[in-house]
Amino acid sequence: MTIDYLGNATEEDLPLLKIPYFLNTVRVGWPSPADDYIERPIDLNEYLIKNIAATYFVRVSGDSMINAHIGDGAILIVDRSIEPKNKMIVIASIDGSYTCKRLILKPKVCLVSENPKYSPILIAKESELEIAGSVIAAINTY
Amino acid sequence: MTYALVDCNSFYASCERIFRPDLKTKPVVVLSNNDGCVVALSKEAKELGIKMCEPWFKIKDQFIRQGGVAFSSNYELYADISSRVMQTLEQLAPKIEIYSIDEAFLDLKGIDSCMQLDQFGSQCRDTIQQWVGMPVSVGIGPTKTLAKVAQYGAKKYTKTNGVVDLSGQERQKKLMSLMPVGEVWGVGKKINKRLNELGIFTALELSEMNIQFIKKKFSSVLGRTVMELRGHSCIGLDEQRPIKKQIMVSRTFSKQVRDLDSINEAVSDYAVRACEKLRKENQYCTIASVFIRTNYFRKQDKQYSGMLSYKLPYPTNDSRDILFAVKSISKKIFRENYNFIKAGVLLSDFYDEGVHQPDLFASQEKGRRGGKELMQTIDRINSSGLGKISFAAQGIKKSWSMKRQFQSPRYSTNLQELLVVK
């Protein structure tokens, strides 16, 4: 890179320096007695998230989990570090896309919707099932 | 000493895959700024013969025909995934050094007394895969350089399952005899060529060289590398993240720019971005510099590049102060009738809050009143994902701004762009 020196940038752009004339008096007072009682505001992250590195948020589309109180547009909190167990709500990858369903391991492995409109998805081979994480909370807004 | 190197496999491409299970086995490439060339590629893309830095327009048609998928770089996503990987490692190992966005060294002191080292490596690998969704390979050795050798083996040979422990000398020698010397940590292109001329082609051959000869012929740094390859640890773990000494934001324009207004907009936009970064580091700066340049590769064009710095009267991280500075510089370095292709803003001479000795006679020795609160509020709004506040100087149309045609959503950092599941 070549550098062209074009003069000092400050010479015309800087405002004139105003020298302050001190007339203020100094105020002295007691600190507020309430200072000792200041608490931190409530932090929902602290309540909802156990393992930040492994937690993702996803948004729900559709009504397939409505009976589990997961409505259309709800935000799910997914913790990938929690091992999915029987009857847990999980995020699973089916045919190249992610879906939210209840995981059933017995007597047969399947993914079940919480809406009678949809039939369960049977998993023929366990190796075909890929669980991305366990849903630990759902946030619905009204 | 025992070190491990944990390295993410095809990091950018793997980040994109976390949210796209349909891409699991497809070739994936990530493109540079302005979608110019390939900066990252998955194993499957490598197998198609695509190379790093290849221009996108050259490979585009064939790549898409072969079922490949391309992404513009999505640095918000990559930075978030990187910090998740590092946080996971912090929980697994007592000490870690973040070496780059996709690599970290671990100090394994004490771990060998609780478990087998290769077992620990597998645990790292499985945990990061499970928690974050990122595939990694792990190399373990008595020095950092040997940990890098081990990691090279872990990545190259699938039989290793992504974990190689090089604690034993026999295995060290075997792997080093298979490793080209150019792959050794600290051996660059130039040194590689000179070593080859001397008949040194493998890591093992380098490790058997006379140290005095290497120090005299090359450098003491390469001498240290030889020591490390022999298993004598010379480079320790650097845990402290150094405080940045300068912040640079520079971009190539999507098309050539000839007018001062566009340059002003671009430079203002970069300045605001640089100020955000500066505030994130809790630093204040007193020097703002701007550069602009034409496209060296267009031989038919007249060439010009200009750079100038502005000394601010007090340390600041207020976007308004920096905007004032960069706009007055760009006015001075701008020239008519040139095709500009790139501009950048550099902030330097950093101070912690309140450390600077103010000028007794400066009119605003502490900056603008309420400036700190205003900037905090702007940063909060902009990071909330709900809206954007920008300065008018940044422009609205931004016809010069980067092309990012294939950018994926910011799945993990923006509430409006979350992954949708059915």
> Which of B127, B307, B422 lies at the smallest CB-CB distance from A3?
B307
Question: Is A4–B132 a contact, with Cβ atoms under 8 angstroms apart?
Answer: no
Give mean pLDDT, residues B352-363: 64
Q: Is B322 exposed, middle or buried (0-12, 13-18, 19+ CB in 10 A)?
A: buried
Question: Cβ of B415 and A57 within 8 Å?
Answer: yes
Q: Tell me, what amino acid is at B333?
A: I
B365-387 mean pLDDT: 80
Instruction: Kindly determine whether residue A54 and residue B311, on different chains, have CB atoms separated by under 8 Å.
Output: no
The band of A11, judged by pLDDT with boundaries at 50, 70 and 90, is very low
- Mean pLDDT, chain B, as a whole number? 88
pLDDT in tens, B51-63: 988 889 899 999 9
Q: What is the DSSP string of A65-91?
A: TGGGT--TTPEEEEETTSPP-TT-EEE
Query: CA of B247 to nearest chain A CA: how many angstroms apart?
Result: 18
Is pTM beyond 0.90 here?
Answer: no
Write out pLDDT tens, residues B107-131: 998 887 888 999 999 999 999 999 9
Per-residue model confidence (pLDDT) at position B135: 96
Give the model's pLDDT for residue A37. Answer: 64
- Sheet of B340-352: strand order equals B246-257, B340-352, B283-294, B305-316
Residues 336-375 of B with CB under 8 A from A: 361-363
Is B381 in contact with A20 (CB distance < 8 Å)? no
Q: What is the pLDDT of residue B358?
A: 59
Q: Which chain B residue lies closest to A90 (C-alpha atoms)? A: B421
Query: How far does B226 lie from chain A, in Å, by closest CA?
Result: 36
In tens, the pLDDT along A25-82 reads 556 666 666 666 666 678 888 888 989 999 999 999 999 999 999 999 999 999 999 9
Mean pLDDT of B297-312: 85
A91: which chain B residues are within 8 Å (Cβ-Cβ)?
421
With a cut of 50, say whether residue B328 has pLDDT above it.
yes
Average pLDDT rounded to a whole number, residues B174-197: 93
Ramachandran category for residue B385: left, alpha or beta (phi over 0 → left; psi -120 to 50 → alpha)? left
- Average pLDDT (B10-30) is 94
Structure confidence at residue B33 as a pLDDT band (50, 70, 90): confident
Report which of B20, B18, B55 is spatially closest to residue B37, judged by C-alpha positions: B55
The predicted-structure confidence for B72-112, as pLDDT tens digits, reads as follows 988 889 989 999 999 999 999 988 998 888 999 999 988 87
What is the distance in angstroms between the Cα of B115 and the nearest Cα belonging to chain A?
Answer: 22
Cross-chain residue pair A60–B306, CB shorter than 8 Å:
no
Q: How far is CA B76 from each of CA B301, B339, B409, rounded to the nearest angstrom? A: 35, 31, 9
Taking 90 as the threshold, does the pLDDT of residue B196 lie above it? yes
Lookup: tokens for B12:
């950018």
- Using an 8 Å CB-CB cutoff, list chain B residues near A13: 324, 328
* DSSP designation for B238: -
The reply to whether A93 touches chain B by the CB within 8 Å rule is yes
Q: Is A64 on the interface with B (CB under 8 A)?
A: yes
Give B315→chain A minimum CA distance, Å: 15
Q: Which string of DSSP letters, residue by residue, matches B275-288?
A: HHHHHHTTEEEEEE
Across the interface, do A93 and B88 touch by the CB < 8 Å criterion?
no
Q: Which residues pair with B180 in a beta bridge?
A: B202
Judged against a pLDDT cut of 80, whether residue B355 lies above it is answered with no
pLDDT digits (tens, 9 = 90+) for B243-275: 667 888 888 888 888 889 889 999 999 999 999
User: Which residue from B34, B70, B39 is spatially nearest to B54, judged by alpha carbons?
Assistant: B39
CB within 8 Å of B156: residues ≥ 6 apart:
none
Distance, in Å, from the CA atom of A54 to the CA atom of B79, rounded to the nearest integer, reads 15
B307 has a chain A CB within 8 A of its CB: yes
A134 is catalytic: no
State the virtual CA torsion across A5, A8, A9, A11 in degrees, nearest 10: -160
- A57 and B361 within 8 Å at the Cβ level: the answer is no
Question: In chain B, whose CA is at the least distance from the CA of A64?
Answer: B422
Strands B136-141 vs B163-165: parallel, antiparallel or unpaired: parallel
| Catalytic residue check, A113 | no
- Supply the DSSP string of B80-118, one letter for each residue: HHHHHHHHHHHHHSSEEEEEETTEEEEE-TTGGGTS-HH
Query: How would you classify residue B144: left for phi > 0, otherwise alpha for psi between -120 and 50, otherwise beta?
Result: alpha
Instruction: Compute the distance between CA of residue B54 and CA of residue B63 in angstroms, rounded to an integer.
Output: 12
Contacts of A58 in chain B (CB under 8 A): 418-421
Q: How far A119 CA sits from the closest chain B CA (Å)?
A: 14
What is the rounded average pLDDT of the residues B191-202? 94
**CB B287 within 8 Å of CB B255:** no
Mean pLDDT of B374-401: 81
Inspect the interface and report whether the beta carbons of A53 and B87 lie closer than 8 Å.
yes
pLDDT at B241 over 70: no
Q: In Å, what is the CA distance from B95 to each residue of B9, B91, B107, B122?
A: 22, 9, 5, 18
Residues 6+ apart with CB under 8 A from B355: none
Q: To which residue do tokens 């039989």 refer?
A: B159
- With beta carbons under 8 A apart, name residues in chain B contacting A99: 421-422
Backbone angles phi, psi at B56, to 5 degrees: -60, -40
Average pLDDT over residues A10-15: 49
What is the ipTM metric for this complex? 0.72
Cα A109 to its chain centre, rounded Å, is 29
Q: Check CB contact under 8 Å for B22 and A100.
A: no
Beta bridge partners of B136: B8
Greater confidence (B152 vs A42) lies with: B152
Tell me if B38 sits within 8 A of B184, measured CB to CB.
no
Which residues, in sequence order, are CB contacts of A13 under 8 Å at separation 6+?
Answer: B324, B328
Nearest-CA neighbor of A2 among B211, B142, B166, B306?
B306
- Contact yes or no for B409/B417 (Cβ under 8 A): yes
